[in-house]
Amino acid sequence: MTTATRDLAGLTARIAELAPGLRVETGPGATGPYAYDASNYRVPPRAVAFPRSADDVVGVLRACREAGVPVTARGGGTSMAGNAVGPGVVLDFSRYMNRILDIDVEARTARVEAGVVLDALRSATALHGLDFGPDPSSHSRCTLGGMIG
């Protein structure tokens, strides 16, 4: 077993301790699609994690901080300057953390998870005659977390 393989096994074991049940994938089949975004950069990550909650995110951040491994958050991966790729652990918010939690029509606000796609939010708010101001052309793919990032 190489040092890199041992380090990765240690990291995924620590993530499993701190974020039980969190789906973490390694290996080229799983990480390959995360090696690129809409830019020309290609950086394969060591692992990809699919958080379902803020606790999952905290667990990954803690494990990676302990191990000195960089973390890259990712939404739709439409950034055009290599922002959504990195050599450590990629946190994919779009897979599960993509819920619209509530829409307060009176206050004209919505609570959402970071991986909600802009068009999904717009479709939901349109039912109440509301819209969301920022309007990137990537609206059918980009997420709220990625837009803020």
Ligand X SMILES: Cc1cc2nc3c(=O)[nH]c(=O)nc-3n(C[C@H](O)[C@H](O)[C@H](O)COP(=O)(O)OP(=O)(O)OC[C@H]3O[C@@H](n4cnc5c(N)ncnc54)[C@H](O)[C@@H]3O)c2cc1C
Query: Where does this chain bind ligand X (CB under 6 A)?
Result: 37-38, 72-80, 83-84, 93, 114, 136-138, 142-143, 145-147, 149
The angle that helices 54-67 and 3-18 make with each other, rounded to 10 degrees, is 140
Instruction: Return the number of the residue (79 or 105) whose C-beta is nearest ligand X.
Output: 79
Name the minimum Å distance from CB 11 to ligand X: 19
Q: How far is the CB of 8 from ligand X (least distance, A)?
A: 21
Q: Which residues contact 124 (CB under 8 A, 6 or more apart)?
A: 100, 103, 110
Output 45 or 77, the one with its CB closest to ligand X: 77
Q: How far apart are CA 27 and CA 136, in angstroms?
A: 33
* Min separation Cβ 42 and ligand X, Å: 15
Q: Are strands 23-26 and 47-50 parallel, antiparallel or unpaired?
A: antiparallel
State the Cα–Cα distance between residues 63 and 45, nearest whole angstrom.
Answer: 16
Which one, 83 or 125, has the nearer CB to ligand X? 83
